[in-house]
Amino acid sequence: MDYDILIIGAGPAGSSLAHKLRSLGLTVLLIDKKATIGKHACSGLFSKRITKYFDISPSMIENTIKGATFHTRNTSFEVKKEKAEALVIDRPKFDRFVLKTATDSGADILLNSHITSCHSTKECIRTHIMTPKGPQEITSKLIIGADGAASTVRRTLNMKGTLNYVNGILSYYPIKNTSELVELYYSPDTAPGFFAWTIPRGTRTEFGLATDIRYNHLAYFKKFLKRFNLRLTQYHAHPICFGNQQTISGRALLIGDAAAQVKPFSGGGIIYSQICADIAAKAISSAFDKNDFTKQFLKKHYEDKWKQKLMPKIELGMGIRNILNTLNDRELDTFFEMLKDQKNQIESLGDMDFL
Ligand SMILES: Cc1cc2nc3c(=O)[nH]c(=O)nc-3n(C[C@H](O)[C@H](O)[C@H](O)COP(=O)(O)OP(=O)(O)OC[C@H]3O[C@@H](n4cnc5c(N)ncnc54)[C@H](O)[C@@H]3O)c2cc1C
């Protein structure tokens, strides 16, 4: 056996799970198709819960956030907590930091390498990968698909799901912005199927949006930037998927965006991936104890557990997203006007990780 565990994808989900599994004494190989880690399109807006999972150094924090202003065409409403609710994190630094926790704990890493196929046998799972040195076969007890929204592991193992996709795009401008609020824009004319945003990042401002995949997100983004007298220069884009996904198979499980562990209301996935990495590490530890890597065992100890915890929130988020997607500008005005009446309740109860 080459490794106990093969993890495809060295993003925050794969790297943090690699670290947890190394702490259990398992041997781990991480592979990623990118040559360097830390170039992901992501706002890096995480609730303070992130500090439960990682030792976030001040050098990673660009700003702190107390709430948001929601804008529709003719109305806006502000939700603001007394204390900082979220951190604006430098995502490239964060990704490199999480990967370092994995490699420092002894996980091996192969960059510039991608999976081509895999099949499960009685003894192990055989995975074919393409590396800069040519094709290679890796044998492991278990494979983890942490390879993001367009997961190859999910497709290769034919795991079923009902997924919705939006395309996200963002850009940074050297406009100083130390506001404590993010600005969110809801209109089918601005970002059909999702929303647009600006995020204050201290010495710079982020502008971004996501649209349903049926629309041209780049064209909508250029139009959004025009509102602020900005022209598109460089940008980062990436799909976001959410819904209900099968996340286990014999000798295989999915985690993070590959598993659609994503909030449908905001598109955020980092905190859910960490909640699920804890559940996955426990399940994998039990699988090794019992030498049981069957679909049934992984379902009971991983999929059922994470779905029990997060699916009700994901379903609520899907419900709200589906309603918002059917509303025109006038109806969105009315919807957010109605929310204004619940402002105090939202401010006291609202938890950004569970919507
Ligand atoms: C525009 C935008 C803004 C966002 N903002 C936020 C935010 O503010 N807060 C938040 O919580 N979330 C945000 N998200 C979502 C967040 O980025 C994801 O939830 C998070 O990156 C998921 O982590 P992951 O490790 O599961 O997947 P990823 O970060 O996508 O990592 C997957 C890794 O797998 C690798 N890979 C893919 N395919 C293969 C293959 N075949 N072989 C080998 N390697 C492969 C990729 O190179 C990548 O490194 C945003 C997303 C977008 C698009």
Each residue's pLDDT tens digit, 263-284:
999 999 999 999 999 999 999 9
Say what the pTM is.
0.96
If one residue of 43, 88, 352 were mutated to test the ligand 1 pocket, choosing by the most ligand atoms within 8 A of its CB, it would be 43
Helix, coil or strand: residue 250: coil
CB 104 within 8 A of CB 23: no
Atom index in ligand 1 nearest the CA of residue 270 equals 11
Closest atom of ligand 1 to 13 CA is: 25
Residue in the structure block whose two tokens are 């089918």: 188
Q: Please state the atom number of ligand 1 nearest to the C-alpha of residue 34.
A: 47
What is the tens place of the pLDDT at every residue in 112-146? 999 999 999 989 999 999 999 999 999 999 999 99
Q: Is 32 close to ligand 1, i.e. is its CB under 6 Å away?
A: yes
Structure letter (DSSP) for residue 252 = E
Atom of ligand 1 nearest to the CA of 208: 1
Domain map of the chain by residue range? 3-354
Distances (CA, A) of 290 to 18, 143, 317, 339: 20, 17, 36, 50
In this predicted structure, the answer to whether residue 260 has a pLDDT above a threshold of 80 is yes
Q: Enter the tokens of residue 216.
A: 């041209």
Is 2.40.40.20 the CATH number for 3-354?
A: no
Other CB atoms within 10 A of residue 202 CB:
14
- CA 13 to centroid of ligand 1, rounded, Å: 8
Cα separation, 193 vs 215, in Å, equals 9
Taking 80 as the threshold, does the pLDDT of residue 355 lie above it?
A: no
Cα 40 to ligand 1 centre (Å): 6
Q: How far is the CA of 152 from the centre of ligand 1 (A)?
A: 13
Q: What is the residue type of 151?
A: S
Distance between start and end Cα atoms, the chain: 42
- Does ligand 1 lie within 6 Å of residue 268's CB atom? yes
The token duo for 33 is 């198709």
Token pair, residue 235, equals 């940008």
Phi, psi of 246 (to 5 degrees): -65, 135
Task: Note the pLDDT tens digit of each residue in 67-120.
Answer: 999 999 999 989 999 899 999 999 999 999 999 999 999 999 999 999 999 999
- One-letter amino acid of 201: R
